[in-house]
């Protein structure tokens, strides 16, 4: 069911971009399992990936709209426990408000929410 929903969202995004010139890169990895199968995404794994790996992904991936990257504090119970990093997909051609996010604690990725550019297409993984 999840694969069918993702395929539908991806096809809709492709249809929207058909007349837009060169479309932004569209992430198909959740369907193909390349470069890794969930819970891994684009080589990033909750509980394993470091803040340096996250930074390299954000600055080097064509999937990231670099102008949209936002860093803030991650709080629990009124106490700052880490860093929250939010960003928009470069495939976000419709101006969806869904933001991708990484939650970092003690220098490790703890939680990630990945959206494919449409509000209904977010996937969440955490440790």
| pLDDT at residue 96, rounded to an integer | 62
**What is the structure's pLDDT at 5?**
46
Give residue 99's pLDDT band: very low, low, confident or very high (50, 70, 90).
Answer: confident
Torsion 28-30-31-35 (CA) sign:
positive
Residue with more model confidence, 47 or 30: 47
Q: Is 22 helix (H, G, I), strand (E, B) or coil?
A: coil
Give pTM, 2 decimals: 0.71
Average confidence score pLDDT of the chain? 80
Percent of the chain at pLDDT exceeding 90? 45
Q: Is the pLDDT of residue 61 over 60?
A: yes
CA 101 centroid distance within chain:
6
Residue 90 pLDDT greater than 90, yes or no: no
How many other C-beta atoms can be found within 10 angstroms of the C-beta atom of residue 118? 20
Q: What percent of the chain has pLDDT over 70?
A: 67
């Amino acid at each position: 069911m999840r694969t069918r929903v993702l395929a539908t969202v991806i096809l809709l995004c492709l249809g929207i971009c058909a007349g837009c010139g060169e479309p932004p890169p569209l992430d198909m990895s959740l369907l193909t399992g390349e470069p890794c199968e969930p819970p891994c995404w684009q080589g990033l794994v909750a509980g394993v990936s470091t803040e340096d790996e996250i930074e390299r992904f954000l600055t080097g991936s064509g999937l990231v709209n670099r102008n949209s990257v936002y860093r803030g504090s991650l709080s629990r119970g009124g106490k700052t426990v880490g860093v929250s990093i939010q960003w928009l997909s470069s495939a976000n051609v419709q101006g969806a408000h869904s933001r991708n996010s990484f939650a970092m604690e003690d220098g490790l990725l703890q939680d990630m929410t990945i959206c494919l550019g449409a509000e209904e297409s977010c996937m969440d993984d955490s440790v």
